Structure 1
Amino acid sequence: MSPVRICSRTACKQSAVYTLTYVYADSTAVLGPLAAYVEPHCYDLCAEHAERLTAPVGWELVRLPAEESEPTSDDLEALANAVREAAKPATPREEPVGQGIEVGRRGHLRVLRSDTPLRSDTPRKP
């Protein structure tokens, strides 16, 4: 039998029934059913503290329904798709293409000059 988890709020000794997670990248707080395992950056809350919970200013609070039943295959597929999407590497930014000619060096820094000189009638960018 697993030990009963208590509310993360200071001085609260009630049993935890919800887990609160912050998604900093999206400025979102997610309150859902009690997680199967204790996670280091999640907070377990009792029913009273979960009901009174508010999100920080400028953040969105998402309350997931407490599920009494087993997850369906659609739920599991949606979860797998979300994990796959999160694991995709970010698309790299395009780097400028062209060759430069090294005209100087100081330590690990190099001074490069474009191999195609600017025409005199081409305005320079500030």
Structure 2
Amino acid sequence: MLVQNSAVLTKNREVNHSVAGEMVRSGMCSLTGESTPDRAWKSLFKSKDVVGIKVNGLGGKQIATHFGVVKAVVSGLKSAGISEENIIIWDRLTKELKSAGYTINKSDKGVKCFGTDTNYDPYPEIVGSIGSCFSTIISSY
């Protein structure tokens, strides 16, 4: 699926948040075959789900996952009944999220936003001969 709209970028190469939001809503309907964005989101997510949104903050504001797109995804998740407290925006390092313009929130209120550098599981998960410690963003939420 591909959603395009030349109006998403302003002359100053800033993202138009309302256009980005409409593109996300349109894309979700195309992806799911549902007639409305709310139905599209509800077809994929249940109200009790905990959802992590993996962004890319590396490279700062110019090439990071743009907040206008993330904001539209958060709005869609909320339309599916998912509470803000069950939404986590994350990347590998908190400092990269900050430099990309994200507001860090590690509290229990609202949408969480922080890096996986906050903590890892103490013991690795082993599959065959490979072992890895998962981020607690994955294992604890």
Same fold (TM over 0.5): no
What TM-score bracket applies, with the shorter chain setting the length? under 0.3
Task: Considering fraction of residues, name the structure with more strand.
Answer: 1
Normalised TM-score (structure 2): 0.23
Q: Could you say which structure has the larger radius of gyration?
A: 1
Task: Considering fraction of residues, name the structure with more helix.
Answer: 2
